[in-house]
Amino acid sequence: MQPDNQVDVAFVGEEQTLGLPVTTRSGSRTALDLAGRALWRIPGCFDIARLIGPGFSLRCVIFHDISDAESSLTKGMGVTVTRANFESALRFLAEHYTPVSLHEVLEQSGGRRLPPRPVLVTFDDAYASVVEFAAPLCRKFGVPAVFFVNAAFLDNQRLALDNLVCHVANSFGLDAVNAAIRAVDDKERIQVQSLTEVFSLFLPSISLPARRGFCDALVQLARTSEQGLAREAGLYVTSRQLRELSSFNFEIGNHTYTHVNCRSLSESDFDEEVARNKAVLEDISGRLVRSFSVPYGSTADLTPALSAHLRSTGHEAIFLAESVANPTGVDLFEMNRVSVKGRSDAELFSEIEILPRLRMLRNRLSGIANSGLTRKVSHLERVN
C-alpha cells in the first residue's frame, strides 16, 4: 500500500510540509541530494553531517514491499525496493549504525541513552515479500525490526484500497479511477491527474463511508471481486507467517484495520480501526502490540483525538513518515521515519543522514517564519 516520490508516503508528507511549487521542491531536493552524496566521499562525513543540523538521535527507516518486480497492484506507488537494494541498505545500516529494537527504544527513554548512532528498521503494510525476502536478510545482518500490519488484509481475503486503486489505474487507466471518484463525489470537485493526487488529495478528503463506496466502485469497474483479486495476488502475509516473524526478532505493530486516513475517523471509528486491529494482531501473534504507525505517515492524520486514543489503549510509541530527523530527546508519541530507496552508500548516507536534517531545519525555519507572521497578524489585530 501507499504512495511515493511521485506517490510515496514520505514525499506526500514532505510536500504537505514544504508548501512550495513542485518544480522548486524537486530541483532543490536533487541539488541537496547530490551535495549529500558528495559529502560521503569526505573523511569524517558523519561529523560534518552533525554540523549541518540540530541534534539527531534515533534514526528510523521505513520500507514496504521488497521485491525485484512490481505488479499492477504496486507499480507507480514507489513502495517497492529490490532485494539487492534492500540488502545494500541493511549492510550500510549494520556497518555504520547500531540497529536497535523497539524494546530498546521504549526502555531507553526517547533515545537519550541508546547506543551510538542508533537506527530502528520498520516495515509498513504487511507485504508478504517482507517475510519471504527481508526477514531472512534482517536475521543475517542482526537487524531487529517492527512490522506494521493491517489485520483486514491478513490471509489475502481482502485488498487494500491503495493497491486496488493502483491496479485499476494500471489496468484500465486514470479515467476509470476518476469514474469511481465521481461515484462518491457527486459534486465532481476532484479530477485526479496521477496516482499521487489520488493518495494526497482525494483519499484524505473523504469520509470512511465514502471510502467504502469508492472501493466498491473500483471493484465494479475492474469487473472482478476484491476477494478474487486479493487471493490471486497473494500480496500480504498470512496469519501463520505473522506468527513466524517473532523468530526473526520482528515486533508487530498497529497500522489501523483497513489502512485509512486517520483524519477522517470520528472517535467512534477508533474502536473499529485502531483498538480492533490491536486486539486481532495480539490474538494472532500472542504478543502485545505496543506501537502504531500512522497510515500515509502525515502529521495531519495524527489528530489530538487519535493521539489520546492511542495513549489510552496501551500504545507506547507512534510513528510518522515525513522523512525528517528525530531530535535528541525524541517524543516517543511522534517519531519520524525516513523512506529509504538508495542503493549506493553515498545515496543511503544522503537519504538517512543529510536530507532528514535539512528537512528538520527547513521545518523549524518555516515554523519560526509562520510564528513571526502570526505575531505580526495579532499585532495588527490589536492595532485595529
Q: Which is closer to Zn ion, CB of 37 or CB of 337?
A: 337
Site for Zn ion in 180-219 (CB under 5 A): none
In angstroms, the Cα distances linking 171 to 179, 195, 350 are 14, 13, 35
Q: Which residue is nearest to Zn ion (CB)?
A: 124
Stretch of residues binding Zn ion (CB under 5 A), selected from 39-47, 107-115, 125-133, 349-357: 125-133
Q: Which is closer to Zn ion, CB of 245 or CB of 358?
A: 245
- CA 251, CA 146: separation in Å to the nearest integer? 5
Q: Which is closer to Zn ion, CB of 92 or CB of 147?
A: 147
Q: Which is closer to Zn ion, CB of 295 or CB of 327?
A: 295
The answer to whether residue 125 forms part of the interface with Zn ion (CB under 5 A) is: yes
The answer to whether residue 253 forms part of the interface with Zn ion (CB under 5 A) is: no
Q: Which is closer to Zn ion, CB of 64 or CB of 362?
A: 64
For every residue of 105-161, DSSP letters joined together read HHHTTTTTTSPSSEEEEEEES-BHHIIIIIHHHHHHHT--EEEEE-GGGGGGSS--H
Least distance in Å: CB of 7 to Zn ion? Answer: 12
For every residue of 107-122, DSSP letters joined together read HTTTTTTSPSSEEEEE
Which of 2, 163, 224, 261: binder of Zn ion (CB under 5 A)?
2
Which of 53, 295, 342, 356: binder of Zn ion (CB under 5 A)?
295
Site for Zn ion in 105-124 (CB under 5 A): 124
Q: Which is closer to Zn ion, CB of 254 or CB of 350?
A: 254
In angstroms, the Cα distances linking 382 to 99, 310, 369, 370, 373 are 52, 39, 20, 18, 14
Q: Which residue has the cell 476532484?
A: 190
Least distance in Å: CB of 1 to Zn ion? Answer: 5
Site for Zn ion in 352-381 (CB under 5 A): none
- CA 163, CA 142: separation in Å to the nearest integer? 31
Least distance in Å: CB of 295 to Zn ion? Answer: 5
Nearest residue to 281 (alpha-carbon basis) of 126, 158, 145, 150? 150
Least distance in Å: CB of 259 to Zn ion? Answer: 6
Least distance in Å: CB of 89 to Zn ion? Answer: 19
Nearest residue to 284 (alpha-carbon basis) of 244, 235, 230, 233? 244
Q: Which is closer to Zn ion, CB of 218 or CB of 321?
A: 321
Report the Cα 382 to chain-centroid distance in Å: 42
Stretch of residues binding Zn ion (CB under 5 A), selected from 191-199, 295-303, 315-323, 326-334: 295-303
What number of chain residues touch Zn ion (CB under 5 A)?
A: 5
Nearest residue to 84 (alpha-carbon basis) of 103, 101, 69? 69
In angstroms, the Cα distances linking 284 to 216, 230, 257, 289 are 28, 20, 14, 11
Q: Which is closer to Zn ion, CB of 126 or CB of 348?
A: 126
Chain residues that interact with Zn ion, rule: CB under 5 A:
1-2, 124-125, 295
